[in-house]
Each structure stands twice: as structure tokens, then as C-alpha cells.
Amino acid sequence: MIEKREFYINGEWVSPLAGRDCEVIDPSNEEPCAVISLGGTEDTNAAVAAAKAAFEDWSQTDPEVRLAYVEKIRDIYVERAEDMSKAISLEMGAPIEMSRASQTTSGTWHIDNFITAFKNFEFLRPLGPHAPDNRIAMEPIGVAGLITPWNWPMNQVTLKAIPALLTGCTMVLKPSEIAPLSSIVFAEIVHAAGVPAGVFNLVNGDGVGVGTDLSTHPDVDMISFTGSARAGAAISKAAADTFKRVCLELGGKGANVIFADADEKAVVRGARHCFNNTGQSCNAPTRMLVERSIYDQAIETAVKVAESTKVASAHLDGNHIGPVVSAAQYEKIQGYIQKGIDEGARLVAGGVGRPEGLNRGYFVRPTVFADVSNDMTIAREEIFGPVLSIMPFDNEEEAIAIANDTNYGLTNYVQSQDGAKRNRLSRRLRSGMVEMNGQSRGAGAPFGGTKTSGRAREGGVWGLEEFLEVKAISGWDPAAE
């Protein structure tokens, strides 16, 4: 049992001023694996006060100094990679090999991309040749409240904390109380890098407590939140009275449009992507739209993928998916699978209950539904588990209509060998991202969506700009530069 009750405030590990103890549960065996404290208002206030006091000096540091701190964080992060991988695997159930290969390295990937973007970033820019005495200044917004989820812990922490550090903001991080251990390791890394006291602070807590305190705090200038649409709406309402900036990266219900001319691996690739991280990814392609001429074949292929996807403890080596994160998540997913059956979708793989041989732990059977209609619950709501819904379409226009008929708009996918068709769909699909033929977004591309998926753009130059205010200056003396 790990006992780690301290918060990181003003450059020190400190005991909570308020709050209560909370067990962290290992989802592979349903046993407590750590004890943390959930902070109270006094803890949030102390962390915000530290961040506010540090802001003036930190915001005025030379950008090269801030860059040097982040480069040091990157070096220590790599040194602590195994510690990070074990923490993530333990707290949220990512299989240890997947945690090493994908979960932990997502943090390194974002740090590297931010470093690259920052080296060419202009904090002071000319307005244009028509106004030689005008400048546009990009200035740090102030104290940022960072609220991160459990499903990709370091992916989201680095997407928020690193650009905040680089742009000159100070911050208070509240990781998910379900998966806080990796963020504690991250705080240790920031401390080891020598980041000045008060610049980075960590307070564990839940959304109702510390999350609300940060969202309503008058000295917090922005909230960057990743999580559910429900929580995002609550944060937006809570933050309204203090007029703070709110950046939301929320859920998704991605459509994977597979045409008859798609490559032979398209269906396998799509199903595996849906099941990756046990389906706990907001950009998972959970709606597979298949051109009718290859529909039956696609179902057969998806069933084979589901039936060959191994499910096992996160602590075991090997290529498999692990449990979902919690009992509540397990029950929610079971309810969706039963809802799909009750509403008339054709269950072709998986189903309710745990996989054979697993009677303990939050394990879900990789599940495939065919003959799904877009008005069914499993096609409308984010399940956040290894559940794939397959539906047919007859032509390009129908595929676009089905794909766009959703409240979400995070990532859509297109599979076709016809370049002109891919290009057309990429512009007509209503989402913040479109990935085609298995090609991932390039380094520095922004991550974010539209509609109920939120309006944030995280990563690269766009991720830096989210933490900056734009100031227009006239009467600038170019000769004095």
C-alpha cells in the first residue's frame, strides 16, 4: 500500500490543511493500492495564493530561461520513465507494456513538440507593414487551474502544464482522484528540475471539491479541463461569475467511414483502435460506418479482432487490454451493452459480464454490435469502453450525414484509396480532427474538437496560445527595439 498524502504547494511537499483520506483502487484486482488526501478549500486557497505570488517574477523571466527548465523536466521525465509507467499501470489499469510504450511516452512526445514550437514562437509581433508603430504582444494569462482526467494521465498533464510553464503562467494542477499517482511523480520531476517555488502546485481532490474551488476562485485566471461533457458544462457555469477563460477538451463519438475501396487492413485497424486502452479514449473510433458492399465482410473481420483481443491484468507482460478504471465505469459500460441489446442492435461479439476466467477486476469483454442505427443509445452516447458499433451506408452523402449526426465533434476517420474522396470528406466532416488511412496527426498538430467535444486546441503553437492574452500596442518606437 502506497501512502502519499502530501500536496505540492509553493515548492514544498506539505500536509493537507483540510479534506479527507481517499483510497486509490487497483482496477486489476479491486484492491486499494494507495491512500491520498482529497484537499479542501483551504488547500486550494493556499495553492492559488502561491501561484499568484509567483506569477509576477515567473511571467517576466526570459523565455530562454523557461525553456531551459522545461528541457530539464524532459530529461528527468525520461530518467523516471519506469516509475511513471508503473504508476499509470497501477492507478488506471493500462497494461504495463502499453503504459511504457504509449502512456508514458505520450508525455515525452508532447514535451518535445512544445519545445520545438516554442523555439520559433514570437511573443512580440508587428501588426503589419501598414502600421509600423503597432505591435501585438502575447502575454501570459496568469494563474491557470489545470484539471486532468484518468484515462491518459500524462498525455493530458503535459498538454497543460508544459505550455503553461513555457508561456510564463503559474498553475495549480488537480489530477483525477481516481488516478493521482502519476501526477505525484510528475510533481517530483518538476521539483527536481528546480522550477521556482509557487510556479507549479499540485492539490489532489475531486471535482465537487477542489475542482469547483478552482473554477470559482477569483484569483484563477483560466481553467483548462479535460473530461466529460457533463463536468465541462458544470465548470463553465461555475467559472462564469469570475469571467475566467475556460478551455474544454471533452468527449467524442468518432465515426470511422470505411469505403469499399479501403485498404485490406482498414477494418482491423479501426477495431483495434476502438479497443485500445480498453476503449477509454475520447478520440476512439467507436462508430464504424461501412459501405454496404463490404458490410458483411467487415462484421466478420471485426468479430475476429474482438475475439482475438486478449484481456488480462495490467501487471502481466504481453499484448492485451486491461481493466477499465473503476467499478462505476464497469457498471456504466455493462449498462450500455445491455441497452444495445434491448434496443435491437445485433450483438456479434462480447456482451455483458467479465471475460471467461476473470472473476475479479473491472474487466470488460471486447464487444461488437452490428446493424446499429444512429438513433440508438450506443450510437449517441460516449460509452468509454471496448464497444464497437457497426452500421452500413450506401453512398458518400449518406456516410457524411450519419457521421455528422452526433452531438460530438472530436475525431472522425476516413478509409479510402481515392484521394479526392478523402479530401472531400475531410472538409465536410464536422470535427476538430480528421485522420485518414491510419495516418496519425503530425508533430505539433492541435488536438481538440467542436460541439459537445469542447473548443480547446491543445498541442503545438495552438496549445501555447491557449495560455496567452493578446495585447494590441500602438505608438511603439521601432527605433528603440
**How many Å apart are CA 308 and CA 321, to the nearest integer?**
11
Pick the catalytic residue from 22, 169, 247, 282: 282
Cβ within 8 Å of residue 24, ≥6 positions away: 2, 32, 33, 34, 35, 36, 91, 177, 178, 179, 180, 181
In three-state secondary structure terms, 12 is: strand
Burial code (b: 16+ CB inside 10 Å, e: under 16) for 75-87 equals ebbeebbebbbbb
pLDDT in tens, the chain (481 residues): 566 668 999 999 999 998 789 999 999 999 999 999 999 999 999 999 999 999 999 999 999 999 999 999 999 999 999 999 999 999 999 999 999 999 999 999 999 999 999 999 999 999 999 999 999 999 999 999 999 999 999 999 999 999 999 999 999 999 999 999 999 999 999 999 999 999 999 999 999 999 999 999 999 999 999 999 999 999 999 999 999 999 999 999 999 999 999 999 999 999 999 999 999 999 999 999 999 999 999 999 999 999 999 999 999 999 999 999 999 999 999 999 999 999 999 999 999 999 999 999 999 999 999 999 999 999 999 999 999 999 999 999 999 999 999 999 999 999 999 999 999 999 999 999 999 999 999 999 999 999 999 999 999 999 999 999 999 999 999 999 8
Residue pointed to by grid coordinates 454490435:
369
Q: For 9-40, what is each residue's pLDDT tens digit?
A: 999 999 999 878 999 999 999 999 999 999 99
**Residue 305 φ then ψ, to 5°:** -65, -45
Cβ within 8 Å of residue 135, ≥6 positions away: 124, 125, 126, 127, 472, 473, 476
The verdict on whether 282 is a catalytic residue reads yes
Q: What is the pLDDT of residue 18?
A: 85
Q: What is the pLDDT of residue 3?
A: 62
The edge-to-edge listing of strands for the beta sheet with 7-9 is 12-14, 7-9, 200-202, 170-174, 143-147, 222-226, 245-249
Pick the catalytic residue from 249, 291, 435, 466: 249
Q: What is the pLDDT of residue 19?
A: 79
Q: What is the pLDDT of residue 5?
A: 64
**How many Å apart are CA 114 and CA 163, to the nearest integer?**
7
- Number of C-beta neighbours around residue 133 at 10 A: 12
Read off the pTM.
0.97
Burial code (b: 16+ CB inside 10 Å, e: under 16) for 441-459 equals eeebebbbbebbbbbbbbb
**How many Å apart are CA 436 and CA 62, to the nearest integer?**
40
- Number of C-beta neighbours around residue 43 at 10 A: 27
C-alpha grid cell, residue 346: 445485433
Rg (CA), the chain: 23
Residue pointed to by grid coordinates 513555457:
166
- E strand or H helix that includes residue 143: strand 143-147
Q: What is the pLDDT of residue 1?
A: 57
CB 61 within 8 A of CB 216: no
DSSP string across 375-436: TSHHHHS---SSEEEEEEESSHHHHHHHHH-SS--SEEEEE-S-HHHHHHHHHHS-SSEEEE
**How many Å apart are CA 293 and CA 260, to the nearest integer?**
7
What Cα–Cα distance (Å) separates residue 477 from each residue in 124, 126, 128, 133, 472?
Answer: 13, 12, 14, 6, 14
**How many Å apart are CA 262 and CA 300, to the nearest integer?**
16
Nearest-5° Cα angle at 229, 168 to 274: 100
**Beta-carbon-side half-sphere exposure of residue 322 (alpha carbons within 13 Å):** 29
- Hey, what amino acid is at 388? L
C-alpha grid cell, residue 58: 515567473
What Cα–Cα distance (Å) separates residue 431 from each residue in 47, 219, 404, 452?
Answer: 36, 33, 8, 10
- Helix ranges (DSSP H) in 80-177: 81-92, 96-98, 104-119, 153-167
**How many Å apart are CA 8 and CA 359, to the nearest integer?**
38
Eight-class DSSP state of 311:
B
C-alpha grid cell, residue 71: 528541457
Eight-class DSSP state of 240:
G
CA dihedral 362, 363, 366, 368 (to 10 degrees): -40
**How many Å apart are CA 307 and CA 40, to the nearest integer?**
46
CB 433 within 8 A of CB 447: yes
- Hey, what amino acid is at 308? S
Cβ within 8 Å of residue 56, ≥6 positions away: none
Q: What is the pLDDT of residue 370?
A: 98
CB 294 within 8 A of CB 402: no
